[in-house]
Chains A and B, each alone.
Chain A
Amino acid sequence: MKENTMIAEQNRGIVRIPNPPTIRAWASVVGKKEHDGPLGGDFDLHAEDDRFGMDTWEKAESEMQRLALGMLMKKSGCREEDIGAIFAGDLLNQCTGSSFGLLDAKIPYFGLYGACSTMAEGLMLASLLVGGGYFSKAAAVCSSHFCSAERQFRFPIEYGGQRTPTAQWTVTGAGSVLLSSDGCGPYVTEVLPGISVQMGITDAANMGAAMAPAAVDTLSRYFASSGVSPDEFDLIVTGDLGQVGHDITSDLLLSMGYDVRRVYNDCGLLIYSSESQDMHAGGSGCGCSATVLCGHILKRFANGQYKNMLFVGTGALMSPTSVQQGLPIAGIAHLVRISAEKPTEMGGGNA
């Protein structure tokens, strides 16, 4: 038992990827509300009708994944057979959004479930395997759809109810990235896998509060082990904590001595306009961090605006059954450091 604990302790450190892979291409597909939002112009594709030409919402979500991968292939100029593996996930039971959406792609497939942290999880795993030399190229895709998520987690679409001010709106969108062992950046230089943290929040309409402790845990572990100051980054962004989770994370980190306020934002706050779109606490869902990363953020790496950032995917680990049974909601936060340049001195393995 003691030995296991030691291994776990050792693994809590940051993984510095010896040969940082390049994020060679990225693509994003969104629905109408997301396109109408403040980041609308950053996304590659959008649909006027959230059904994406399909007859069910689940097929619409899969179609977004198919489009996101197709766009990625087009932008990167790669062929499917060049890609070693694809890591994909969504919020639907048994990850069918991904498995059906990527059915026609002749690429080895791993289905992931990290709730809304899946983009960071996929990006992290793909980066580790490319950086470790196992694949020369790997992709990560993930999606969420407001309607398929509502059906699974909440109420039928046309059900008339009021949402609480802490409730968030599931983003309709999919994002994809292609990691490559060759290329000239932006690079995934470090990753810090999240540990699930549960602080007794049972309200499924307040996911921000449920996930914030996990974000605080991951970010504080990162700052403590790396010794890097938050000010060294152009942006530190969490996945979908929304207004409530964002404020809690910012304040808790400050109380621990890490002042992130100048550079910290949340994808759930970026994607919609809080004044005109009435999204309550902000956006959520796998597609939230996926589209903001693959639409908005990476574009700003390409034009030189960002040089160094922390992307922290946040997920609420629950199911409708666990919530009905009164179980508290655990959160998880996976951290990925993206830099425009390779670090000068590279240490191998764990820090």
Chain B
Amino acid sequence: MNLDAKTYQKYANAYAKKSPSPKNCIAAFLVGGSICLLAEGLYRLYLHLGVAEAAVRILTPVTIIVLTALATGFGVFDCLAKAAGAGTLVPISGFANAVTAPAIDNKAEGMIMGVGAKMFIIAGPVIVYGTLASVVWGVIYYFLHMRGIV
């Protein structure tokens, strides 16, 4: 084979089918939108039931998290996510699934080294860099606030 690695990579790339982006985007929009619509409905329902607004702000995402965890446990979430892609990943459902799935999966390795240690194997980076980003933004906000900009 008279191909160098660089030429081969280009050659091989031409054989790889690309992800169907328009289809994926539409599915993500519809499913992601529906999850947000459900959350909005829950938000209004809780307010309607007389729950204080501060509590509703917590209760709504918690409901989505519980629903996702249940769907993950019953083995249906991944089927929906396969079609929805970013639609289930971007809302808090993506985060909830990323924690629940390894927790279920690593049960066989025990509660400490399995569930405990592996639970955040996917969501861990989100927590680490999410916290880090909020600290950085907090410092920026502090100085902007001091100068009266915000």
Q: In the complex, how many angstroms separate the beta carbon of A58 from the nearest chain B beta carbon?
A: 8
How far is A170 from B19 in the complex, measured between Cα atoms in Å? 20
Find the B residue at minimum CB distance from A256: B1
CB–CB B80/A160 < 8 A: yes
- A128-164 at interface with B (beta carbon < 8 Å): 151, 155-164
CB–CB A159/B9 < 8 A: no
CB–CB B1/A159 < 8 A: no
Q: In the complex, how many angstroms separate the beta carbon of A246 from the nearest chain B beta carbon?
A: 9
CB–CB A166/B16 < 8 A: yes
CB–CB A199/B94 < 8 A: no
- B89-127 at interface with A (beta carbon < 8 Å): 89, 94, 97-98, 100-102, 104-106, 108, 122
How far is A165 from B13 in the complex, measured between Cα atoms in Å? 12
In the complex, whether A14 has a CB less than 8 A from a CB of chain B is no
Knowing A160-B80, A166-B17, A209-B12 touch, does A200 contact B104 (C-beta < 8 A)?
no
Majority secondary structure, B binding face: helix
- Residues in A with CB closer than 8 Å to B102 are 156, 159
Find the B residue at minimum CB distance from A281: B17
CB–CB A206/B16 < 8 A: yes
Bin the interface of chain A by size. 20 to 34
19 interchain pairs (CB within 8 A)?
A56-B108, A156-B104, A156-B105, A156-B106, A156-B122, A157-B101, A157-B104, A159-B102, A159-B122, A160-B84, A160-B101, A165-B19, A199-B8, A199-B9, A200-B5, A200-B9, A212-B12, A217-B1, A248-B12
Find the A residue at minimum CB distance from B82: A162
How far is A156 from B75 in the complex, measured between Cα atoms in Å? 12
Bin the interface of chain B by size. 35 or more
CB–CB B15/A155 < 8 A: no
How far is A58 from B109 in the complex, measured between Cα atoms in Å? 11
- Residues in A with CB closer than 8 Å to B147 are none
In the complex, whether A185 has a CB less than 8 A from a CB of chain B is no
Q: In the complex, how many angstroms separate the beta carbon of B84 from the nearest chain A beta carbon?
A: 8
CB–CB A159/B8 < 8 A: no
CB–CB A165/B18 < 8 A: yes
Find the B residue at minimum CB distance from A59: B108
Knowing A213-B1, A216-B1 touch, does A161 contact B81 (C-beta < 8 A)?
yes
* Residue among A161, A163, A200, A328 with max Cβ neighbours from chain B (10 Å): A161
18 new A-B pairs (CB below 8 Å) besides A158-B72, A199-B3, A213-B8? A56-B108, A156-B104, A157-B101, A157-B105, A159-B101, A160-B89, A160-B97, A161-B82, A163-B82, A165-B17, A166-B17, A199-B5, A200-B8, A200-B9, A209-B15, A220-B1, A247-B15, A252-B3
